[in-house]
Structure 1
Amino acid sequence: MAKRFDYIVIGAGSAGCVLASRLSEDPSVQVLLLEAGPPDTSIWLHLPIGYGKTMWSKKYNWCLYTDPDPNMNGRRIYWPRGKTLGGSSAINGLIYIRGQRQDYDHWAALGNEGWRYEDVLPYFIKSESNERGASQYHGDKGPLKVSDIAHKDELIEAFLDGAEEVGIRRTPDFNGLDQEGVGYYQLTTFKGLRCSTATGYLRPARGRSNLTVCSNARATGLILDGCRAVGVNYLQRGRKQSAYIKQDGEVLVSAGAIFSPQLLQLSGIGSASLLQAHGIPVVVDLPGVGENLQDHLQIRLGFECSKPITTNDALNSMRGKVCMGLEWLTRRQGPLAVGINQGGCFMRALPDESDRPDIQFHVATLSADMAGGKVHPYSGFTLSVCQLRPESRGHVRIKSTNPLALPEIQSNYLATDLDRRTTVAAIRAARQIARSQAMRPYIKREVKPGPEADTDEDLLAFSRDTGATIFHPSGTCRMGPEGDAMAVLDAQMRVRGVQGLRVIDASSMPTLVSGNTNAPVIMMAEKVADLIREERRQLLTQAEHSR
């Protein structure tokens, strides 16, 4: 590719599509967006319930597995990650959650100037087109469509009533003044269809002559001139290709919490000892690359429902499937339009130790052995719980110099006492709601963990045996202040010691946010796009003054 670009964006996921769209708004710059996966042409990427189909699709999903986790009885945990335009925003559970005010204030307190809640709220608002309209906390003109769940489900209503019984207040908005409470989630949907970043951001930008989008193009290494990024090598349909930036251009890595650190390590940016062990010349010794891996561990409690009102019932009968299809075709409503999880709850499982919610519920009107799996043959539903701010840390490290080989992924779940106690308390909190007067008429039996699992030891063992990701790996190229030896990025997400290189995605988070990660990553990309444009404006101004 002879053409040189002002910006090369690696990865067309939740962050990459935002960056490509926002930066190409300036007609004076040339932007190249590389995506390892194919275009987002499948209907299952656009139907909200298609989550169940794409969860195992090797065409649109990396279908990763962690290395054996010693804290999870040596199990390898399945980690789905998006591999298409839109990335994981094209295959996720569609839930729109920003996290808590304190999450971002904590980022700033760690030394990341400009990342307080007051600093980031304008970018959440800018990104969003909420069907509720504009307000102090929401926007109505952004590319990302956010919608309410139109139909109030009988089973979800019972859960909300049950949570109120045990002292959890209802909230109309998890993303408003206070996250704590129980209610319906808002979803990244519009008129019954998913709004991924490819749909909301990239599609309107595709007609711009200054934006080049290359799918099926997997980055294999950064091209460096000393300690400056000048381009990227990639494979496209088996052919080796290279792309270069202009003299003052930048390479923006948005390949996600697994592949962003892998790409840096393969390019000589990372722990010197790791790189030397693989014979890779060390460009910059950054020991934090690939470390600090965090994720939300999901524990799923399964129940058999005493009434045939679950999504299991609809999916297990031809009549039910036809009715679901007709409801979507005629009204753009029903299970096809809302995906899997409808109800949610943020509460304190350890109220004596936390002054804000420390666990999250995802309530699904179906049940399966795992998320996205085949539904059970009986009427079933699921209460999933996860600890919001785990202390456990894992890592991502290359195993080979082969860029197509997967790295070592060590999740290291439940490695600390707090994580174990919070997880057990979360299961007990779910059971307390399930045993409420409001929910009792809907529960025929607790299928798992089952009544025989009652002690803390039993519930911890159940968590080790069955716990899985809720799909939020983060932190592996974290930003931090100058004196932080493990910080990979500065507060502008520039890679330390390398010019012309930034990492913008969930790997950039210093700590995991208290909730789903898609909306925060979109916000981060919006904010960094503004930072990049302002830096460019200042450079152009300086150049004019020097003439």
Structure 2
Amino acid sequence: MGDGQFDFIVIGAGSAGCILASRLSENGRYTVLLLEAGGKDSSFWFRIPIGYARNFYDPRVNWMFSTEPEAELHDRKIYVPRGKVQGGSGSINAMIFLRGAREDFDDWAAAGNPGWGFDDVLPWFRRLESHAGGASEWHGGDGPIHVTPMRGMTHTVADAFLAACRALGLPQSPDFNGASLEGAGVYDVNTHRGRRSHSSAEYLRPALKRANLHLERNMQATHLLVHEGRATGVAAVRGGRTYRYHARREVIMTAGAIGTPQLLQLSGIGDGAMLAALGIAPRHHLPAVGRNLQDHLAASFYYRARVPTLNGSFASPFGQMRLGLRYLLTGKGPFAMSVNQAGGFFRGSPQQARPNLQLYFNPLSYRIPADPKAGLKPEPYPGYLLCFNACRPTSRGIVSIRAADPFVAPAIRPNFLSTEHDVIEALQGCELIRRIAGAQALRQATAQEVSPGPEVESDADLLAYFRKSSGSIYHLCGTCAMGPESVETVVDARLRVHGMAGLRVADASIFPNITAGNINAPVMMVAEKAASLILEDAG
């Protein structure tokens, strides 16, 4: 048995955990332990943005979860990659940096969470950001995470997409993280001089020089230590050996929307009847643990192009070599960018009060293979794809452990497309993509729609295509939701677990509702604000 005492224990060195560990150890007053189940993110492939494709199916750095069979998606199991490495999913994601809509956070506050409205959280977004354009009303200029607009760097076929949106009279957005995200535009990415800029690189690595911060990698937490209604530490395993660490002040869960509810349930914190049925002694009945799971469900339309796209360069060894050499010499080019370059936020019908659909335009068309060993490969022709998801789906799912064994993956049931609202928005997205692809500017660059294909025309056929081909876009959240009471939510507005002393949650699982767009930036914001709350309470 190993043993150790620290002021704070942070469980999970992902996008949030790296920030918490850095901020809590910053003033030198507190000792901090950070536990991570994965290894070090020192490989070149974590630093180069295009490494996203290499890590997509790598069990050494990826939990590679799958859902249970989804009833509304032809009983398919949906792939759910999650980072199992220092930096977590922020080390393996596609780096789109998006705050979300003002209304998303105002809804958090309206659900009984004072201090979480948009005007409350904007300063925390600005604190974490160094925008390439400098500080402004909407952007930070000296934060740890570097944000690079891809405007002016996108593939020429993306210009055809933007021109098609203009021709249809759709709004244009010069900055999705500005005053409003509505409209067509080009995404920002968290990169710096062509390298991934994430919380592991920008917060944790510099902080590891501090004597009061201790990081343990390849250390899987098995259960929390609980005494008389207080979380006092954590047990963890590495190499068959069990370690016990004790927290003088607090334990902070940052294991993500799957890992956090899993560890709470393994520790006897959750729905008492469910835990007892698995032979786990219920320590604290908190039925909302694992519930309220939300995600963005996405589908892609594939097109063969008349003009060159990235397919040619990425498919040929010579093309890859040329792009790689350009990247090494200049830090620029497709290897330095996200695969998702342009896109936007649109209203699926004139009756929508706000944008309810997000689009991605990708100048590279590729299929996600069923066989993980096959890897991600471009289609064997010049092509592009248009992908969409609804911004605020109403389907709700659950994450629940299957057994008392911490090494058994939990059951993940998103219940995708289980509401009429979500079915309607799936059709709206299909119709919007067809409208944009049919505008002259994009039609001139297109040879044919490959999937679903021109024969798929009716609403019934489009919906059937969506059910057959849609999948997660990997924005899981909400499984330890924030709110004022302990029946429907798990943590209060200061992120303290209801009815349990010494325990907080500070990751994507606390989202009361999913935000519009990619959620990595909101997760980092939650961590920045959480660190402030914890230090305030400690002081």
TM-score, scaled relative to structure 2: 0.97
State the partner residue of 2:326. 327
Separation in 2, partners of 1:476, 1:189: 29
Aligned partners of 2:506 and 2:526 also within 8 Å: yes
Separation in 2, partners of 1:516, 1:152: 19
1:433-444, aligned counterparts within 5 Å?
A: 433-444=436-447
Separation in 2, partners of 1:237, 1:426: 48
Asked if 1:316 corresponds to 2:315, the answer is yes
State the partner residue of 2:119. 118
State the partner residue of 1:298. 298
Separation in 1, partners of 2:282, 2:221: 19
Separation in 2, partners of 1:329, 1:497: 53
SS where residue 22 of structure 1 aligns?
A: helix
State the partner residue of 1:262. 262
User: How much does 1:373 deviate?
Assistant: 2.2
State the partner residue of 1:273. 273
SS where residue 4 of structure 1 aligns?
A: strand
Aligned partners of 2:367 and 2:377 also within 8 Å: yes
User: How much does 1:49 deviate?
Assistant: 0.6
Separation in 2, partners of 1:516, 1:260: 20
Deviations 1:484-517 (A, max 9, x none): 5211110111111110001111111011011110
Gaps of 5+ in 2: 370-374
Give the aligned residue type for 1:107. Answer: W
User: How much does 1:81 deviate?
Assistant: 0.5
Separation in 2, partners of 1:521, 1:510: 13
User: How much does 1:3 deviate?
Assistant: 3.2
User: How much does 1:66 deviate?
Assistant: 0.3
SS where residue 458 of structure 1 aligns?
A: helix
SS where residue 302 of structure 1 aligns?
A: strand
State the partner residue of 1:85. 86
State the partner residue of 2:28. 27
Aligned partners of 2:368 and 2:376 also within 8 Å: yes
User: How much does 1:319 deviate?
Assistant: 2.5
Asked if 1:221 corresponds to 2:220, the answer is no
Give the aligned residue type for 1:323. Answer: R
Aligned partners of 1:350 and 1:422 also within 8 Å: no
1:409 to 409, 412, 421: 412
Deviations 1:45-90 (A, max 9, x none): 1110111110001111111100001111100000001111110111
Separation in 2, partners of 1:238, 1:44: 29
SS where residue 366 of structure 2 aligns?
A: coil
Q: CA RMSD in A?
A: 1.1
Asked if 1:461 corresponds to 2:464, the answer is yes
Question: Which stretch shifts more, 316-325 or 50-59?
Answer: 316-325
Deviations 1:208-266 (A, max 9, x none): 000001110111100001210000011122221111111xx100000010110010011
State the partner residue of 1:8. 9
1:185-204, aligned counterparts within 5 Å?
A: 185-204=187-206
Separation in 2, partners of 1:245, 1:77: 37
Aligned partners of 2:315 and 2:377 also within 8 Å: no
Asked if 1:153 corresponds to 2:151, the answer is no
State the partner residue of 1:127. 128
SS where residue 438 of structure 1 aligns?
A: helix
Gaps of 5+ in 1: 538-547
SS where residue 477 of structure 2 aligns?
A: coil
Deviations 1:282-306 (A, max 9, x none): 1111110011110000111111111
SS where residue 322 of structure 2 aligns?
A: helix
1:133-532, aligned counterparts within 5 Å?
A: 133-149=134-150, 150-246=152-248, 249-308=249-308, 310-352=309-351, 354-370=352-368, 373-482=376-485, 485-532=487-534
State the partner residue of 1:545. none
Give the aligned residue type for 2:138. Answer: Y
State the partner residue of 1:534. 536
SS where residue 149 of structure 2 aligns?
A: coil
- Matched pairs, number: 532
Aligned partners of 1:296 and 1:470 also within 8 Å: yes
Separation in 1, partners of 2:256, 2:123: 24
User: How much does 1:2 deviate?
Assistant: 3.8
Give the aligned residue type for 1:507. Answer: S
User: How much does 1:318 deviate?
Assistant: 2.6
Give the aligned residue type for 2:416. Answer: Y
TM-score, scaled relative to structure 1: 0.96
Separation in 2, partners of 1:88, 1:125: 22
Separation in 2, partners of 1:319, 1:307: 19
Aligned partners of 2:32 and 2:212 also within 8 Å: yes
Give the aligned residue type for 2:319. Answer: G
Separation in 1, partners of 2:10, 2:269: 18
User: How much does 1:28 deviate?
Assistant: 1.2
* Structure 1 residues 100 and 362: CA distance shift in structure 2, 3 A: same
User: How much does 1:370 deviate?
Assistant: 2.3
SS where residue 147 of structure 1 aligns?
A: strand
Give the aligned residue type for 1:455. Answer: S
Give the aligned residue type for 1:289. Answer: V
Identity percentage over the alignment? 45
User: How much does 1:204 deviate?
Assistant: 1.2
Aligned partners of 2:360 and 2:386 also within 8 Å: yes
Aligned partners of 2:183 and 2:344 also within 8 Å: yes
Separation in 2, partners of 1:241, 1:34: 11
